[in-house]
Amino acid sequence: VYGLRHRAPHRRCDCGFHCVHDSATAEAMLCTAEHRAAVLLEVSVLGAYIRFEQGFRYARQRVRSATVGPCACGAVAAALADAGWGRPGWRALAAACAGCVRGRTSLSLAGFARLAGDGLRVRAGSGAVVGDLPAGLGVSELVAEAALLQARLDWFQTQLARLDEAGPQG
């Protein structure tokens, strides 16, 4: 809608495309909390620009490639999955590995590139490979932990019942 009021970029508006000019700066920004889940884009910029505190703001851009970071669990991303939030009609997507994507609406990286068109290249960034994950973490361990928690809950319920039977005198 800002295009109807003025041309992008405009000094008194945050319109336009914000970018930095070297990959080291962009990769360093991925370490901050607000950019941790961001997708790193390689773009060609066009049109007017304004210098700002961390780089430039351009009127237009064309995305050439996208590098998707690791899944929240640390594994290499295999897809872009529903992040659990968005705007009406739009889903926010987040990187997800093959294990974490189950049951969520998702799109493979190749499928996303195909839908985006114009020869966009989408690749998975670095992350832990499945073989790098600690051994012994699986369903059986979770079942054992749940059984232990259930046993503790039963013990607490028994203690509460005994206190209830004893009455107010203790």
pLDDT-derived band at 4, boundaries 50, 70, 90: low
Model confidence pLDDT, tens digit, residues 129-164: 555 545 555 677 777 788 888 888 888 898 888 888
Residues 6 or more apart whose CB falls under 8 angstroms from that of 30 comprise 36, 38, 40, 69
- Backbone phi and psi for residue 68, each to the nearest 5 degrees, phi listed first: -90, 130
Bridging pattern class, strands 121-124 and 55-68: parallel
Q: Write down the residue that tokens 């600690």 correspond to.
A: 134
Domain boundaries along the sequence of the chain: 1-68, 69-117+128-133, 136-170
Across 71-94, average pLDDT: 91
Looking from the CA of 20 toward its CB, the CA atoms found within 13 Å total 12
Q: What is the pLDDT of residue 82?
A: 93
Structure token digits, residue 24: 């080291």
Statement: the pTM of the whole predicted model exceeds 0.85: no
Residue 80, H or E segment: strand 79-87
Largest Cα span, the chain:
82
Residue 51 in this model has a pLDDT that exceeds 50 = yes
Q: What is the pLDDT of residue 137?
A: 59
* Cα 66 to chain centroid, rounded: 14
Q: In the chain, what percentage of residues exceed pLDDT 90?
A: 24
Could you tell me where the DSSP H helices lie in the chain? 23-29, 109-116, 139-166
Residue 61's CB is within 10 A of a number of other CB atoms, namely 16
